[in-house]
Amino acid sequence: MLGRTDLPNRLRVISGAKDKDCMKCGKCSASCPSYEKMDIRPHQFVSYLQRGDVDAMMNSTTVWACLCCYACIERCPRDVKPAQIIEAARLMLIRRQGDTPYVSADDIPELLDPDTPQQLLVSALRKYTK
């Protein structure tokens, strides 16, 4: 078991992102289609990792609001990869909790309609459950 102080480094490793290269230009947040739904915006998410506040990252609305559209990764001038930091926080949360506050695997069949593509079902299972 890793102690709590190791969490930021663990998150850094899982994310493969380069938070230390961030120059706080805000381009990631300006590119983000989910910006308004995030309590911690993409550029702030990078700062949270720099400060090591992993609990706040894991409990943010951001981990459920990110769509993995890769706009932030494409447009970041420093190749920081903010979405990968968000993804790592989400992974750490679902690995710890199994079911998430956002949606549980049992809820998913209820949410389907006759046109739902398998792609949606599979992506949601991958993103929201362990």
Partner 1 sequence: MVVYTYYPGCTLKTQAARLDSYARVSARALGFELEEIDQWQCCGAVYPLGTDEVAAKLACVRALMAARDSGRPLVTLCSACHHVMKRVNHDMRMDKDMRAKVNNYLEDEGPYGGETEVLHYLEVLHKHLGFAKLKEMVVNPLSGRKIGAYYGCMLLRPSAVMEFDDPENPTLFENFLKALGAEQVVFPQRNECCGGYISLRERERSAEMAAKVADSAARHGAEELITACPLCLYNVNKTSGGKLPVVYFTELLAQALGVEAEEEEAAHVG
> In 16-61, where does DSSP find H-type helix?
27-31, 42-51, 54-58
30: contact with partner 1 by CB under 8 A: no
Binder of partner 1 out of 7, 15, 54, 60 (CB under 8 A): 15
Contact of 19 with 51, CB cutoff 8 Å? no
With CA atoms as reference, report the closest residue to 73 among 22, 36, 37, 123: 22
Choices 20-28, 41-49, 51-59, 101-109 (CB under 8 A): range interacting with partner 1: 101-109
d(CA 12, CA 75): 20
From the list ligand SF4, partner 1, none, partner contacted by residue 98 (C-beta under 5 to 8 A by kind): none
Q: Is 46 exposed, middle or buried (0-12, 13-18, 19+ CB in 10 A)?
A: buried
Q: Which residues make up the interface to ligand SF4 (CB under 6 A)?
A: 22-28, 31-34, 42-43, 46, 66-72, 76-78, 80, 82-83, 86
CB of 24 to ligand SF4, least distance (A): 5
d(CA 9, CA 14): 9
Residues 31-50 that bind partner 1 (CB under 8 A): 33, 37
* Residues lying near partner 1 in the complex (CB under 8 A): 13-16, 33, 37, 65, 67-71, 73-74, 83-84, 87-88, 91, 102-103, 107-108, 111, 115-124, 126-128
